[in-house]
Structure 1
């Protein structure tokens, strides 16, 4: 009994040190924003009180001289925080167009009352999700305008019946978007995720990739962070509403996904933008977005089990 009591303080000290070390490691690996949110560096948001995403957009009065000479303020004056999001009834394209009359051909927008500080391209991989796309566009256009961004929305549509390849479509979107402008920030955006707070700014971090959707309602607003260094939007700010849907044909769960993840460290230098191969079918500027239709070919064939062992 005496030895146990004597060792107890040492055990508590070791436990405290190990916990502190764990927190510091997470902080250095890019989770600093999580801890800032926990310890009060960011305001708490009450998601029971929400505002319409189109609230006060009319307060931005056109000023042609200011657009040429004055930068927009760093913080937009009409941000409201939590937004009212409904995903049950997709709006029509005409309704979206009428509510976003200053969006120009190709889904391009630039503030009309000041010079936009940030140039952001939003890239959305897509196939057979028209109703989801309409819902997202209804909320995303005013969301970006409220932040006073110079932006364009690019929808990368996969043609054909091959397995849907989100990652490759994003790479195609990056390459194509860079043909249009010298962007400060490239945002990869799922078609079925709608942001719930307009303080979640669609601008990039100066040093690291930025994880915007740190909390999705489908996963009880918790997503594990691991791997590469990145900045991460605080959990109480990076909330997204996921549009419910069934898994559609051509987007089945990949039975090889675990093998692909295991081999990432071996082939990542040769698999991505530097090996991108696709056939561009069309570029089209619609009223709400720039549509890029591509044929990315068939899904890559996984090597046989015997060949996979050669990597280890």
Structure 2
């Protein structure tokens, strides 16, 4: 009897420890996959980069659009106020120092007194070849924004571009929606000026080379060829995240970003699909020119959007019913003007699809796609 009790006790202790271990492993897995997906993806892509380099599988390299420095014009060269600014100047020296030390916005303002209200700047010694709107999606990254503006501004000035910064800030309690923020930013920026192109720029991406030209001539363009946290490799061939650019005509042609991705991941892959389905190619700079450093952040990232694979599966069907043409948000948006940028604050909510005829978009016989509300009557729309 005593031996039996001892045996049962041992089994109970082992079972208890097994349950504790299983609970620990499962909760850890759920945390990293759902609450901190950036770390999981970083580890995954770093591992993939190592395997890729070992196997010798080349990255996608589309363009080699910068010749040797001998073709660059002298530092003090000017064509006159009424002539187009050159695209290549020796003042664009290539590799830049990347300083990720925290800096106050007031200190950045003091360093860039030539920036006009709302973040506008244009060269005075020549006619800007391109007018470029820089859209930055934003939520709770106060320590990163001044670092980006301080680093990027001198580069764009050396490139002699007319530009302005638009920080599109999501308020409210909904999960972060990067794609919809870009659509809102595009609509608001076009009210300011007839921009030639738009660059969609994550707040934590710092270019390492000022010859990574942010003009509009090579668009659609993916400016990030190599990111430090991925060991300066592309995570995958069709990676289209971080910093991308399209002309305003191209952006309208593909119907902008999708609005249905709530949380981390998927919207940049969907944008790539939209380019493919519209018959548009894209370019990248050379690997040494398209290098970026990622600013670390000190808070938990956005939650992972677990429904993105289902949405990506039907990118083609959704492209022209979901994007710029069904964008709804509170208007007029809360727009304020600081010295270095224009801030657009907006509270986002899911947007219904109207007149959707495909079974993929939801209905009585099919589970609705995540992130999308499907309504048949336009009167049912609720605009927050």
Question: TM-score, structure 1 length as denominator?
Answer: 0.74
CA distance, structure 2, for counterparts of residue 176 and residue 261 of structure 1? 27
From 164, 167, 174, the equivalent of 2:176 is 164
Per the TM alignment, residue 117 of structure 1 is displaced from its structure 2 partner at its CA by: 1.4
Partner Cα distance (1:60, 1:159) in 2: 45
Q: Which one has the largest radius of gyration?
A: 2
Is contact 2:85–2:129 with CA below 8 Å preserved after alignment? yes
CA contact (8 A) 2:62 2:284 kept: yes
3-state secondary structure, aligned to 1:75: coil
Instruction: Determine helix, strand or coil for the equivalent of 2:115.
Output: coil
Tell me what 1:255 maps to: 306
1:219-240 C-alpha deviation (Å, 9 max, x unpaired): 1122223353211122111111
2:125 is the alignment partner of 1:113: yes
| Residue 32 of structure 1: aligned partner | 62
Q: Does 1:269 align with 2:282?
A: no
User: 1:218 and 2:229 equivalent?
Assistant: yes
Aligned match of 2:190 in 178, 183, 200? 178
Alignment gaps of 5+ in structure 2: 1-57, 70-74, 239-272, 354-360, 370-384
Unaligned runs of 5+ residues in structure 1 are: 1-25, 45-58
Aligned partner of 1:244 among 279, 296, 308: 296
Partners of 2:310 and 2:299 lie apart in 1 by 22
Determine if contact 1:31/1:230 at 8 Å carries over to the other structure: no
Alignment partner of 1:307 is 2:366: yes
2:128 paired with 1:76 = no
1: CA distance, partners of 2:352 / 2:217: 33
The answer as to whether partners of 2:93 and 2:210 remain within 8 angstroms in 1 is yes
Deviation per CA, 1:245-275: give whole Å up to 9, x if none.
Answer: 25636x2011112112112122111111111
Determine if contact 1:120/1:184 at 8 Å carries over to the other structure.
yes
How many residues of Structure 1 are paired with residues of Structure 2 in the alignment?
258
Change (3 A) 1:60 1:105: farther
Using the size of structure 2 for normalisation, the TM-score is 0.61
| Match in the other structure for 1:291 | 343
* 1:76 and 1:148 in contact (8 A); partners too: no
